[in-house]
Structure formats: structure tokens, C-alpha cells
Amino acid sequence: MKLAVHKLIAFLLCTAIFTGSVFLFSSTAVAEGETENVEETEQAEGNEKTSNINIAAPSAILIEASTGQTIYEKDAQVRRSPASITKIMTLLLIFDHLQAGKIHLTDEVMTSAHAKSMGGSQVFLEEGEVQTVDTLIKCIAVASGNDASVAMAEHIAGAEEEFVAMMNEKAESLGMVDTHFEDCCGLTNSDNHYTTAKDVALMSRALITQYPEIYQYTKIWMEDITHTTQKGSSQFTLSSTNKLLKQYPYTTGLKTGSTDKAKYCLSATANKDGIDLVAVVMAAPDYKVRFQDAMTLLNFGFSVSSLYTDENKERLEARKVTGGVSEEAEIVYKEAFRYLDVEGNDINQIQKELRLPEEVEAPVREGDIAGKAVYTLHGREIGSVDILFSESVEKATYRDYVKKVFTLYF
């Protein structure tokens, strides 16, 4: 009898364990399946936003300028001939030299025979003609003058070849890994003169964020310049090649380009509600398509983008310093913080937390990292900014301690 009872109990226990295991396995499988479905759903929603965009050009990209965040891309890393959007790099180097004081807007530049010989888009500079740097920037930015580009390249570097070497060095420093230039204007048909939509966005971003004064030129629709040569003086009207200035109300720039090899290219910049976008279109089949594609990208970008900005200008409380000649050290934010949301979140819910030690040990050096400001949205970290010491505090010596005691009591 006892044996029968024991067998019955054992059978019931085994049945319970087996049933529980099956239930646990089934529950786990369902839970895992639900997780996968949630991830797939989120990914599908993200893809659905961009799949509705109809871009005819084979390569395109859309970025937000202050953060550099990519909002949309289509074969953006395929190498293509850039035509005159090459001049974005030419303009970037011109402004680098202006900032460094190596050239000035009022400097006079003489046109060489080589510069005059350029075909394609030109402003018809004559050999020996003198124009200011300011005027030549207008000729490049507004009318896409190949002759003006070469004249500036020679003025800065002595020869176009030397200037092109500088362009390639600058491209490398910007992380433009799929770019190589062979001239300063994009007129060449060489297979060794190439870039990508992504790289064009990188140099466009560098130009407009470092030198927003470029907009003073790229927003010009028409303007007259004066040719003064041995033949006398004559007026010449610069007409912008960027038709978006008339077609799209938020346009700020930037550069068009077209050759038989490159087809139709455009790097378009626009600003709305404080958001700067860069839309790059390459190898569009005709000039109308490149402008339509750019407007499609810009409209999409503005419709999904919310930009959170914290300038970090408020004064921070000094940190206590132990063992130093001073008892505290001032600290500052390294930079402003910007976050681009394209998922419809309420950016007003972003929170900032300062993570700083109560005190630090001397010595500390100006520029050393003291801590950081961490930003979160719905509990998820979205970025941070370093907090730096804005002054140095040396380690105290015996003489410093004696001086402190003397000052305290006498």
C-alpha cells in the first residue's frame, strides 16, 4: 500500500514538473516572439517614414547641419562626378584663408591666361583683369564661374595644382573618405575626380557652420559686377544658378553643378524655425529633377525634425580643490548641446544632470575635464557635454601653507 502511494505521489510530481516546464517554455517563447515583433514594428515604422519619399536621383542625402545627423540617405556613399559642387571645397578654403588673415576681401586678384581659358560656366574674366576677392567669391557662389575659381586658387596657392592638393588635404581632415579632387571647379571629366553625396554633405556642413557669412553670397539672385580691362569698362550681370532661391522660400544656398559626366547635382541648404538642413542630390537626370528632389528632401526633413538646443551659458559653481594654492577652481561648459529628434518625441521632456565630483585634488590644469552634463529623454541618455576647468590650480608647497597661515592671523 505504501509503495502504491509513493508511486502515485511521484507520478503527480513528474506530471506537475512537466506541465510547468511546458508552460514556462511556451510563455518564454511567446515573450520572445512579442519582443521580436515590437522591434520589427519599430523598425518598420522608421522605414515607412522614408520609404514614402520619392527621390528620382540615384544618390541623395539629407542632414541637419548643427548636429550632422543624417535624416535620409539613398546610395549616399557611391562615388560620382561632382561637377561644380566641387566649388564648395574651393569656397571653404577661401574662407579658411580669410579667417586666418592670409587674404582679405579687399585684396586685388589678377586673372591669368590659364584662368581666362576655363570653359563651361564663366564670368568672362580677361587676362590681366583685376577683381577683388569679394567680387570673385560672388562670381563663384552666384554664377559658378570656373574662371573666377581658378583665379582665386592661383591667388591663394600660386598654382591651381597646389590649391587642389590643399583641397584633398582638407577633404581628408573632414573625413571625406570617398573624395578626390583634380581641379578646383569640377570642369574635368577625369574618373579620378570624384566624391559622394555623403562627402558633399560633410563639406557643405563645414562651410555653412564655420562660415555662415557665405549666405551673404549664396542668397544673391542677381547682381552686377564691372569688368575693367584695356578695352574699357563694362557691366556684367551675375545670375544665380540655384533656382531654389525663387522656388523654395527657406533656401539659403548652396551650390549647383552639371556636366555630361556628372549629370545634374545640387547641394541645397535651407533654414526654417532655426533648423538648418543640407540636401544633396547627385546625378539627377535633368535640372528640374535635382531641384524637385531637393525640395522633397527638405520638406520631409522640416516635417519630422525638432531641434533641442542648450547653449550652456549659465555660470557653474566652482569646484573645491584640496591641497592646492587655491581652495577652488572655476569650471565652464565645453560647448553647447544640440539634439535632433525625428521620432516625434516631446523635446521639452529632455533633462540635464550635472555629474561632478564634490572636490578634486590639486594640481588641476585649465582645460582638464572636471565632469560632464548628461542629457536624457524618457530615461534614455541622448548625449553629453564635457565640463572643463577654466583655470589652473597648482599643488601647494610648504611655503604656500606658511603664507596661508600668515595671511590668516596677521
Closest to 301 in 3D by CA, of 50, 5, 18:
50
> What Å distances lie between residue 340 and 243, 299, 335, 362, CA to CA?
28, 16, 16, 38
Closest to 184 in 3D by CA, of 158, 209, 208, 151:
151
Return d(Cα 201, Cα 152) in angstroms, integer.
Answer: 23
pTM of the model: 0.84
* C-alpha cell at position 276: 538648418
43: Cα within 13 Å, side-chain hemisphere: 6
Per-residue pLDDT tens digits of the chain, which is 410 residues long: 443 434 434 444 444 433 443 333 333 333 333 333 433 433 444 455 555 799 999 999 999 999 999 999 999 999 999 999 999 999 999 999 999 999 999 999 999 999 999 989 999 999 999 999 999 999 999 999 999 999 999 999 999 999 999 999 999 999 999 999 999 999 999 999 999 999 999 999 999 999 999 999 999 999 999 999 888 899 999 999 999 999 999 999 999 999 999 999 999 999 999 999 999 999 999 999 999 999 999 999 999 999 999 999 999 999 999 988 889 999 999 999 999 999 999 999 999 999 999 899 999 999 999 999 999 999 999 999 999 999 999 987 756 555 555 555 65
DSSP structure class, residue 364: B
Element (H, E) at 389: strand 380-389
What φ, ψ does residue 327 adopt, rounded to 5°?
-90, -5
Strands 359-361 and 319-322, by their bridges, are parallel
Helix residue ranges, H only, 52-132: 87-99, 113-116
* C-alpha cell at position 92: 571653404
| Strand boundaries in 122-161, DSSP class E | 130-132
Say which amino acid occupies 202.
Answer: L
Return d(Cα 164, Cα 190) in angstroms, integer.
Answer: 14
Return d(Cα 260, Cα 264) in angstroms, integer.
Answer: 9
Residue pointed to by grid coordinates 571645397: 89
Closest to 190 in 3D by CA, of 58, 79, 57:
79
Return d(Cα 149, Cα 201) in angstroms, integer.
Answer: 20
The residues that are catalytic are: 84, 87, 144
Return d(Cα 39, Cα 51) in angstroms, integer.
Answer: 18
pLDDT for 50 equals 59
Q: Could you tell me the maximum CA-CA distance found in the chain, to the nearest angstrom?
A: 128
> What Å distances lie between residue 358 and 92, 318, 328, 393, CA to CA?
44, 10, 11, 16
Residue pointed to by grid coordinates 520631409: 300
* C-alpha cell at position 393: 590650480
Say which amino acid occupies 165.
Answer: A
pLDDT for 309 equals 97
With contact defined as beta carbons under 8 Å apart, do 141 and 164 qualify?
A: no
pLDDT for 48 equals 56
DSSP string, 237-265: EEE-S-THHHH-TTEEEEEEEEETTTEEE
